[in-house]
Amino acid sequence: MTYNHKIKVSIVAVAVSVVLAGTIAGCNTDSSTTTVKDDAYYKSLAESLIAKMTVDEKLNMLVGPGMTNANVANLKSDTAGVAGYINGVLNTTSGLDIPASKLADGPAGIRITSTRSDTAGTFYTTGFPVGTLLASTWNPEIVKEVGAAAGNEAKEYGIDFWLAPGMNIQRNPLNGRNFEYYSEDPLVTGEMAAAMVSGAQSEGIATTIKHFAANNSETNRMNVNNIISPRALREIYLRGFQYAVENAQPWALMSSYNKINGTYTSQRADLLTNVLRDEWGFKGLVMSDWFAGDNALSQVTAGNDLIQPGATNFVTGEVPLTVLKTAYANKTLSDDIINRDATHILTQALKTPSNQKYVFSNNPDLNAHAALAKQAAEEGMVLLKNASALPIDSTSGTVAAFGIAQLTTRKGGTGSGDVNTAYIKNIIDGLSGQFTVDSTLKTTYADWYSANKTQQWDAFHMNYTWACSEPDASALSTTEINTAAAADSIAVISISRIAGEGADRSADKGDYLLTDAESTLIDNVSTAFHAQGKKVVVVLNVGGIVDTTAWKDKVDGILLAYMPGQEAGDAITDLLSGVTNPSGKLAQTIPASYADVPSATSFNGVDTNSDGTVDTNYYNEDIYVGYRYYNTFDKPVAYPFGFGLSYTTFGYTNSAVSDNTLNSKGAKGSVTLTTTITNTGNVAGKEVAEVYISAPEVNLKKPTIELKSFAKTNKLDAGATQQLTFTIPAEQLASFDEANNQWVIEPGVYKAYISPSSDVSSTDPVTFTVNSKVVVSNTSSGALALPDGVTESSFITVSK
Ligand code: BGC
């Protein structure tokens, strides 16, 4: 079903068509038949409507009406479980009839309430794989399809603004919300977010990229002050947002809870106006995160157009609407600011379904979307290890399924990123569907689970998932394990973790490290199965990475399944059986140990005022986040960024620089590279090829390598080849010169490694030369500066 942006006869359109007639280029005066896709049209429409609005109506548009529907202005129909609204206007004097808009979370699918008291019907939505897994597909096309499917569900359930995608950088593996985000790398982050935005917005739904910016931890998230160098902000934490804005124009953006360099992001004009709008050309609306910041007047003045959810800020006690009305009365809030922000909001709201009078069905195609969720999950899971253990031949022997995670399979994380799905396919369901599974073990686990499962509440104590310990020795004895090893052909051990909004993870046993029970299980199962000459495979069903160093040598195969959405069990099984050949690759590094993470000692902040809560987070590793650190400082890792195995093998030949226009076209130039990928194995598969650039250091220090492009092949049959082309625009190649507020490409010889992962040690680079410095763009002078009295040398500990 497509949505063609047709403006049907609406009171709004009719009311303004007279005003607009003849004034907008290319605009048909008959608004009942005009197909309008032009942003300029909606901006003019918004301006003409705002000209008729009272100040109170405008201020009401700048502040949400709260999280319930009790006070929403001109709500035409509600959708239970939305996160917030944008007030509309209904005024018989002016004739204005602008419907309110509805806002719903979140990155893994549309989060609404699935049942309602007034009807027997259900309103389930599809639980797609979490952001990290989607990024691990390295395939923007499938991410775009997921975006379109989620956008369609939003549209068919009456939603206007989708509060997704989440796209903060995975600075540290312990951030509780990493699962919602894409990667430690800004290019992967930006490309995935842009794909998601394009997909959803093709359905006529606004996306809201979030949380802008540097929202990289959850502890004291509403107050924490992140101290970050302007260069690290530009190159790492803002870069993905910039990519998404410039390439996909999201209709909305959510500022974050945290402060950057002393000021709440929602109150920083340099961030929200100078950088976002003036430099990058953002045309959408900016909304706050829920109850963020401490000063409504500075928010709307800085360019945080919309304060959400409105009503009373439970943290500060401020009532934003009252604050703005008082400020207007005493002339500290001008008509210009009000009109500017209201125009930003209304221009976007007018494009969305409620204002377009879209009649929603409450009946999206959940079956088709479930199939897509499964396909995306299979494309993103990462095969980390395979010592001739996989794929499992479903026609020979039985599978011994161990680990309570076969029953506590996690489709996604908790908090606003959770989705109310009709079901989740557990791992044991998937295995049982394709293999003969050991029935004794299956019963052991089922009995233990029903006797021992407990409710595990999220950080806000609002929702729970079922959790359960591993069966103890009385339930699963060594004898039973030995019996299984004798009878079954392979062991599959599932291990899961939950994580979510409002809390960070810990580096301890049970979270980053395995529990003692999990370690013992791996030991006992491996000993028993290896004694019989049989293999052991571990499936990791986790939102963020866990330690693998302590146990990876004890097992024969590891599948990093992440949180794969509602089709988890079937998708995992398709990869284990070889129905689908794995083609996901890591969008984050798995370090050798948590202590090796460059922010291990600074995450998640320090308690400077000794009130018992961390308040200041020094980004001590500067630009050396993730593989930028491990590669530059020669730190061995467990699995490098960009790594992932397949059931086939691939060869890279004829890597070359096919074009370089940087010297002739400067800031408008680009470099083009090509390589030929050959499937050198025996089964069909897809390969991700990654381009890492090693740039010369003239005045600026540089990470040893940085990802500047990537591409995924089609499914190649054994022996088949495909040529891949990578174009790197000047903008993508540039580094941020903080002293001069410029993006620059320094002169010299650049090495390009076209490689299967960020371990480029066995790849011969190709080179290209930049003859003289290229200034790619100038930026706002002094934007995002460190607070007074803080210098980079006082907190940056990682440096060459
Ligand atoms: C989260 C946002 C979410 C919002 C509305 C906030 O607590 O940080 O990601 O969109 O709530 O639910």
Q: Is the per-residue pLDDT at 642 higher than 50?
A: yes
For the CA of 111, the nearest atom of ligand 1: 12
- pLDDT tens for each residue of 228-237: 999 999 999 9
Task: Tell me, yes or no, if the two domains 14-349 and 381-580 fold the same way.
Answer: no
Distances (CA, A) of 791 to 622, 625, 783: 12, 20, 15
Q: How confident is the model at residue 463 (pLDDT cuts 50, 70, 90)?
A: confident
Q: Is the per-residue pLDDT at 527 higher than 80?
A: yes
Query: CB under 8 Å to 229, separation ≥6 — which residues?
Result: 619, 622, 623, 738, 786, 792, 796
The reported pLDDT for the residue numbered 38 is 82
Residue count of the chain: 800
Which residue's CA is minimally distant from atom 6 of ligand 1? 290
Q: What is the mean pLDDT of residues 693-717?
A: 98
Q: Residues enclosing ligand 1, CB less than 6 A?
A: 83, 105, 163, 210, 289-290, 416
Domains of the chain, residue spans? 14-349, 381-580, 647-786
Q: How confident is the model at residue 415 (pLDDT cuts 50, 70, 90)?
A: very high
Which residue's CA is minimally distant from atom 3 of ligand 1? 416
Residue 146: φ, ψ to 5°: -60, -45
Please give the DSSP secondary-structure letter assigned to residue 124.
-
Dist. CA 416 → ligand 1 center (Å):
6
For the CA of 502, the nearest atom of ligand 1: 7
**CB neighbour burial string for 421-459, b if at least 16 within 10 angstroms, e if fewer:** beebbbbbbbbbebbebbeebbebbeebbeeebeeeebe
Looking at the domain that runs over 647-786, which CATH code has it been given? 2.60.40.10
Q: How confident is the model at residue 800 (pLDDT cuts 50, 70, 90)?
A: confident
Ligand 1 pocket: which of 82, 416, 418 to mutate (most atoms <8 Å of CB)?
416
Quick one: what percent of the chain has pLDDT higher than 70?
A: 95
Which residue's CA is minimally distant from atom 4 of ligand 1? 290
- Which one of 3.40.50.720, 3.40.640.10, 3.30.300.30, 3.40.50.1700 gives the CATH number of domain 381-580? 3.40.50.1700
Dist. CA 381 → ligand 1 center (Å):
27
Q: Is the per-residue pLDDT at 701 higher than 80?
A: yes
Contact 535, 556 (CB under 8 A): yes
Q: Is the per-residue pLDDT at 1 higher than 70?
A: no
Which residue's CA is minimally distant from atom 11 of ligand 1? 290
Please give the DSSP secondary-structure letter assigned to residue 414.
B
The reported pLDDT for the residue numbered 37 is 60
Which residue's CA is minimally distant from atom 9 of ligand 1? 416
Dist. CA 625 → ligand 1 center (Å):
25
What single string gives the DSSP state of each residue in 257-292? Answer: SSEETTEEGGG-HIIIIIIIIIIT---SEEE--TT-
Dist. CA 53 → ligand 1 center (Å):
29
Q: What is the mean pLDDT of residues 513-532?
A: 98
The reported pLDDT for the residue numbered 7 is 33
Residue 530: φ, ψ to 5°: -65, -30
For the CA of 257, the nearest atom of ligand 1: 8
The reply to whether omega before 605 is within 30° of 0 (cis) is no
Q: Is the per-residue pLDDT at 461 higher than 90?
A: no
Dist. CA 766 → ligand 1 center (Å):
45
- pLDDT tens for each residue of 91-102: 999 999 999 999
For the CA of 215, the nearest atom of ligand 1: 8
- pLDDT tens for each residue of 579-611: 999 999 999 999 999 999 999 999 999 999 999
Taking the C-alpha atoms of residue 198 and residue 189, their distance in angstroms, rounded to an integer, is 14
Residue 599: φ, ψ to 5°: -105, 15
Taking the C-alpha atoms of residue 499 and residue 172, their distance in angstroms, rounded to an integer, is 14
Taking the C-alpha atoms of residue 432 and residue 18, their distance in angstroms, rounded to an integer, is 65
Q: Is the per-residue pLDDT at 29 higher than 50?
A: no
Report residue 311 as tokens.
């009503």
Dist. CA 380 → ligand 1 center (Å):
25
Which residue's CA is minimally distant from atom 5 of ligand 1? 83
pTM of the model as a whole: 0.95
Taking the C-alpha atoms of residue 377 and residue 366, their distance in angstroms, rounded to an integer, is 16
Q: Are strands 84-86 and 259-260 parallel, antiparallel or unpaired?
A: unpaired
Dist. CA 612 → ligand 1 center (Å):
25
Dist. CA 25 → ligand 1 center (Å):
39
Taking the C-alpha atoms of residue 578 and residue 570, their distance in angstroms, rounded to an integer, is 12
**CB neighbour burial string for 498-530, b if at least 16 within 10 angstroms, e if fewer:** bbbbbbbbebeeebbbbeebbeebbebbbebbb
Q: Is the per-residue pLDDT at 413 higher than 80?
A: yes
Q: What is the mean pLDDT of residues 670-676?
A: 98
Distances (CA, A) of 64 to 257, 268, 416, 693, 770: 17, 20, 18, 45, 51
Residue 5: φ, ψ to 5°: 60, 25
Dist. CA 178 → ligand 1 center (Å):
14
For the CA of 309, the nearest atom of ligand 1: 5
Taking the C-alpha atoms of residue 415 and residue 464, their distance in angstroms, rounded to an integer, is 10
Ligand 1 pocket: which of 110, 112, 289, 414 to mutate (most atoms <8 Å of CB)?
289
Please give the mean pLDDT across all residues of the chain. Answer: 95
Instruction: State in words which class domain 14-349 has.
Output: alpha beta
The reported pLDDT for the residue numbered 665 is 98
Q: How confident is the model at residue 244 (pLDDT cuts 50, 70, 90)?
A: very high
Dist. CA 291 → ligand 1 center (Å):
9
Dist. CA 367 → ligand 1 center (Å):
28
